[in-house]
Amino acid sequence: MTCAVSGLLKDQVALITGAGRGMGRAHAQLLAAQGAQVIVHDVFEERVQETVALLEPLGVSTMAAVVDIADITAMTAMVKDAEARFGKIDILVNNAGISADRAGIAEIDESMYDRMFDIHVKGAFFVTRAVAPGMVARKHGSIINISSIWGQVGHHFGSTYCAAKAAMLGFTKAWAKEFAPHGVTVNAIAPGGVTSPMAIEKDGLAAVQERMKAVPMGRWAEPEEIAHAVLYFASPHSRFVTGQVINLSGGQTIVGI
């Protein structure tokens, strides 16, 4: 038995890339809690199924999509399958990503470079290209790009990560202008540190806690805090907001810090 679906996003359909855990899972849970039907995408099947299971008690329809974000043909086919099943996609959250390589330019080889841009940049570009025509035709849609503060201020490690996240900000501005006449908004969220499994696995809890000391608020964001910004951009409350970037960094980008 399922409960009646209501909320800000009732009758909306959301595609969230990289929704198998961490921020992507938090986005999926919050949007579903607000009534959205959710296409749960990730490259790892077990993680997708775990997220889908968490959404089931919310009484919304879901679709599991286990696809490599860098496989353009497969991602395009997945979007077509989702549109055939749900009739539309109203919300796209370009969330899929990998963590920064802790390496200087001399250590970053071609395979590392390609992987970073394939997942963050190429993946986001082509899934948006697949979803956008339906939004344009319906004169309605929200595209939300998950960037990073490091795409704005840079970092001394992982220049490819900084560049890839900066590219997502460029997409945001350009697509906002391209799609505004068609009623489609495009915005970005630039988190600082987030206490996601990916971050802790990459550097270890002790290193994460040490980095938190650089944040004026003394901590990193929880994934759910990023999800609330996603909800704002996905909701009717932001229909006149486009081309904008919200920094969620606990004050880490304040000049002089």
Active site residue 161: yes
Q: Which two tokens stand for residue 71?
A: 């496989």
Question: How many helices (H) and strands (E) would you count in the chain?
Answer: 10, 7
CA distances from 4 to 11, 31, 35 (A): 12, 15, 9
Q: Which of 150, 161, 179, 233 is catalytic?
A: 161
Identify the DSSP state of 142.
Answer: E
Starting at the edge strand found earlier in the chain, the sheet holding 91-94 runs 62-66, 37-42, 13-16, 91-94, 141-146, 184-191, 245-248
Is 252 in contact with 197 (CB distance < 8 Å)?
no
Give the residue numbers marked as catalytic. 161
